[in-house]
Structure 1
Amino acid sequence: MFRFLKNIGPGPLVAAAFIGPGTVTVCSLAGVRFGYSLLWALVISIAATIILQEMAARLGLISKAGLSDAIRSQLQHPFLKIVTLFLIVSAIIIGNAAYEAGNVTGGVLGLETIVGSGQLQLGSRSYNYLSIIIGFIAFGLLYIGNYKFIERILLTLVILMSLSFLITAIVTKPDISAILKGIFVPNLNEDTILDVAALIGTTVVPYNLFLHASLVNTKWKGEISLKSVRLDTYVAIILGGLVSMMVVITATAITSGEITNGADLAKSLEPLFGSYAKYVMGIGLFAAGLTSAITAPLAAAYVAAGCFGWKSDLRSNKFRAVWALVLIVGILFSSLSISAIEVIWFAQIANGILLPVIAIFLLWIMNKKSVLGAHTNTLLQNILGIVIVLFTIFLGTKSILKVISNL
């Protein structure tokens, strides 16, 4: 086990990125509303994530370039290149800045479950100093610029998060037969369609494709490592999927009270299973918020570096400027207790449009022998990729319509 943990690569960062407060909230609501019956949607989402992330990792390993670098180099028409790269960098940076507020707030909610409120009244305005504390932790880790150190910290947090959610799920004494039914028997109707779309949408994350392709060469070099890269990807994403399932299973035990986020779920556990369950869940939520608060700015910086042709150096001023901007926006919205609903709506629209576009570009790149040589997609990989592209178009449309209906 020690040897395995020592040799794993950026896969856990991908898992850390998609298991954030948003995922915890979506999974909590799915469990409260529909019990175990939507677990099958998480199985599908994990399968889709594995397929796309394997392509992104293979691209980064073989071409030694990130996804945004590959898109920039393969688009020959100047106008099309400028428009495409502008849309990608704008959507990723603005979208991640919006979601960063949710990541920091999620970490704060987890801490408040454990230590109490972090509100500080200064004059007529209330500030949350816990947001600033979490922001400083994320800022410090990113500013150090040591990828291996960041990787170890995130791996520790992912393990802590996984154990926390696993323990709380076991405490609820779930019905194993009902869980198996929820995994293998799809339940899709008018009542569940949006929750299914949300469960899949919160797992198949566009910026993770850029992050994975950019980071894969920090651990491995060349095609000889392809088997190890795939194992790392599969294990990490499956672990992330199991964490999501644990949250759904935990939330299924809640029969009363209003649940709107992971913190509400943690507090609702106390009268049923004792105060320790609340604290363990709070630790998990804090870890989920902090890991996503680190990976979202990092991914935005890698996207910007690839689109503008910068060197992807964690200690370069340009690279630091991008992640710092995303992080500062998140801290600002979170610490001032400003509602980020409108901003997050915009981010959902951007991601709803961006996800199928990025999936199409990825599939296009993965079939170019000039980029991947003998490691282009197989027929089966292309078929699976096309199915995912079609579904992401459906998912993106649903997301946009949902946001518009709430305006």
Structure 2
Amino acid sequence: MKNPFKISGPGVLIAAAFIGPGTVTACTKAGAQYGYVLLWAMVLSIIATIVLQEMAARIGLVTGKGLAAVIREHSASRIGKLLAVVLILSAIAIGNAAYEAGNISGGVLGIEALGISGSVGGKFNFWSVGIGALAAVLLFIGNYKFLERVLVALVLVMSVAFIVTAIVTKPDLALIFKGSLIPSIPKDGILSVIALVGTTVVPYNLFLHASLVSEKWQGSKDLTAARRDTYVAVILGGFVSMAIIICAAAMEGSAITNAADLAQSLEPLFGDYARYFVGLGLGAAGLTSAITAPLAAAYVVQGCLGWKADLKSARFRLVWGIILILGVVFSSLGYKPVAIIQFAQIANGILLPIIAGYLIWIANKEDLLGQYVNKTSQNIIGIIIWIIVFGLGLRSILSVLGLI
């Protein structure tokens, strides 16, 4: 830890997880439709992510257990334990399967943005199988340090691609600062705010982080290192997301619906290089999320069912394998993941406030964490974040159901 800005650790996997194709698309739409106005929503999302992920990492490091296991063990009654297990298993497992299709499809879009089509017969796309196979190989190796190095490399590729693209668009710095610091919701912009928060503050990342810290460090003595890792990686991820908004803002008013459109729209600014930078960034985003979503689901199932932590166990591999296969199937056969992504949004809207509530509750249990319980300031910030995610989650559910 001689270099305080070194990106190496579970924090990188968390950043890799939340900067997926969903984040790229949400940021692209926000920038294209509203310019720099919604940058504050991303700043808010990053603050919320740091606060919640720090709690999750602290719980995992002090207890030596995953978040799902801690919630299961400390629920007051059998009914409470059963309810917690069923809720977490169904929402995380099904939600991750839904998002996995979007992750792999996003990676395919990135490859095809480079001009390399994988479509066969108009429906089947072999790039989906290729991305799924690569993710499976990396997960099957079962070596945390190796997986960490791969994701560090992919995050760096993604970061350079999007940040360089943002710089080349020569953005207005004054407007960037204004959009980042002054909250403003334009007409019909609330759904974009919900999307930005929902794709950054991800429930499964809380479980993933609590489990991964024990793979990297040994107990509470390494809490300072874990916090530093979280802050640096999440803030870097936030800069990448903001860079995507800034890129899209350069084409404000254009008919941009996804990152592939963004690449095409930026070509007048700096030629074919737009396609390569955006393609590499989106491809890396898809692959990183295609790895972390199944991994998180496996950790959640392991914690809920009380399995021994082992990346190489057959049961652990079976869980992430099922999630990965479902994602490949839906992506490779050309199914548009809109319906399942909408279902995942409902699951996210229900799960995030509940998991955040569990997180704050456990982070205040002295019998579990001792001196490492939340400070008053952390509780105040945590409760404010909970109110915000509850309101946005409710709004997201009602919107998906067509009730507002």
Residue correspondence of structure 1 range 108-187 to structure 2 within 5 A = 108-121=108-121, 126-187=123-184
C-alpha contact 2:7 2:232 (8 A) present in aligned 1 = no
Q: Which residue of 2 aligns with 1:314?
A: 311
Q: CA–CA distance in 1 between the matches of 2:92 and 2:197?
A: 19
RMSD: 1.6
Task: Say if 1:234 and 1:319 are closer, same or farther in 2 by CA, change over 3 A.
Answer: same
SS of alignment partner, residue 97 of structure 2: helix
Are positions 1:260 and 2:261 aligned together? no
Task: Say if 1:54 and 1:246 are closer, same or farther in 2 by CA, change over 3 A.
Answer: same
Q: CA–CA distance in 2 between the matches of 1:98 and 1:398?
A: 20
Q: Which residue of 1 aligns with 2:402?
A: 405
Q: Which residue of 1 aligns with 2:189?
A: 192
Q: CA deviation at 1:256?
A: 5.6
Q: CA–CA distance in 2 between the matches of 1:130 and 1:115?
A: 13
Q: Which residue of 2 aligns with 1:396?
A: 393
Q: Which residue of 1 aligns with 2:235?
A: 238
C-alpha contact 2:124 2:333 (8 A) present in aligned 1 = yes
Q: Which residue of 2 aligns with 1:49?
A: 49
Identity %: 58
Residue correspondence of structure 1 range 78-117 to structure 2 within 5 A = 78-117=78-117
Q: Which residue of 2 aligns with 1:283?
A: 280
Q: CA deviation at 1:81?
A: 0.8
Aligned residue type for 1:313:
D
Give the TM-score normalised by the residue count of structure 1.
Answer: 0.96
Q: CA–CA distance in 2 between the matches of 1:362 and 1:38?
A: 28
Q: CA–CA distance in 2 between the matches of 1:270 and 1:43?
A: 28
Are positions 1:377 and 2:365 aligned together? no
Q: CA–CA distance in 1 between the matches of 2:2 and 2:103?
A: 30
Q: CA deviation at 1:108?
A: 0.4
SS of alignment partner, residue 124 of structure 2: strand
Q: CA deviation at 1:56?
A: 0.3
Q: CA deviation at 1:257?
A: 4.2
SS of alignment partner, residue 120 of structure 2: strand
| C-alpha distance after superposition, 1:325-361 (max 9, x if no partner) | 1100000011000122221111111110000000000
Q: Which residue of 2 aligns with 1:346?
A: 343
Q: CA deviation at 1:378?
A: 0.8
C-alpha contact 2:364 2:374 (8 A) present in aligned 1 = yes
Aligned residue type for 2:385:
I
Alignment equivalent of 1:355, drawn from 348, 352, 357: 352
Q: CA–CA distance in 2 between the matches of 1:203 and 1:98?
A: 16
C-alpha contact 2:5 2:232 (8 A) present in aligned 1 = no
Q: Which residue of 2 aligns with 1:206?
A: 203
Q: CA–CA distance in 2 between the matches of 1:228 and 1:8?
A: 10
Task: Say if 1:406 and 1:252 are closer, same or farther in 2 by CA, change over 3 A.
Answer: farther
Q: CA deviation at 1:294?
A: 0.2
Unaligned runs of 5+ in 2: none
SS of alignment partner, residue 114 of structure 2: helix
Aligned residue type for 2:159:
S
Q: CA deviation at 1:76?
A: 3.1
User: Which deviates the most, 291-300 or 272-281?
Assistant: 272-281
C-alpha contact 2:211 2:299 (8 A) present in aligned 1 = yes
Q: CA deviation at 1:226?
A: 1.0
Aligned residue type for 1:49:
T
C-alpha contact 2:30 2:38 (8 A) present in aligned 1 = yes
SS of alignment partner, residue 402 of structure 2: helix
SS of alignment partner, residue 129 of structure 2: helix
Residue correspondence of structure 1 range 224-235 to structure 2 within 5 A = 224-235=221-232
Q: CA–CA distance in 1 between the matches of 2:137 and 2:7?
A: 25
Q: Which residue of 2 aligns with 1:326?
A: 323
| C-alpha distance after superposition, 1:183-238 (max 9, x if no partner) | 11211254222211211111110000000000001111122211111110000000
Task: Say if 1:5 and 1:36 are closer, same or farther in 2 by CA, change over 3 A.
Answer: closer
Are positions 1:11 and 2:8 aligned together? no
Residue correspondence of structure 1 range 18-37 to structure 2 within 5 A = 18-37=18-37
Aligned residues: 404
Q: Which residue of 2 aligns with 1:297?
A: 294
Task: Say if 1:288 and 1:199 are closer, same or farther in 2 by CA, change over 3 A.
Answer: same
Q: CA deviation at 1:115?
A: 3.3
Q: CA deviation at 1:250?
A: 0.3
Aligned residue type for 1:263:
A
| C-alpha distance after superposition, 1:7-33 (max 9, x if no partner) | 731100000000000000000000001
Give the TM-score normalised by the residue count of structure 2.
Answer: 0.97
User: Which deviates the most, 185-194 or 355-364?
Assistant: 185-194
Q: CA deviation at 1:401?
A: 1.0
Q: CA–CA distance in 1 between the matches of 2:266 and 2:234?
A: 27
Aligned residue type for 2:351:
L
Q: CA–CA distance in 2 between the matches of 1:177 and 1:76?
A: 52
Task: Say if 1:234 and 1:316 are closer, same or farther in 2 by CA, change over 3 A.
Answer: same
User: Which deviates the most, 261-270 or 359-368?
Assistant: 261-270
SS of alignment partner, residue 329 of structure 2: helix
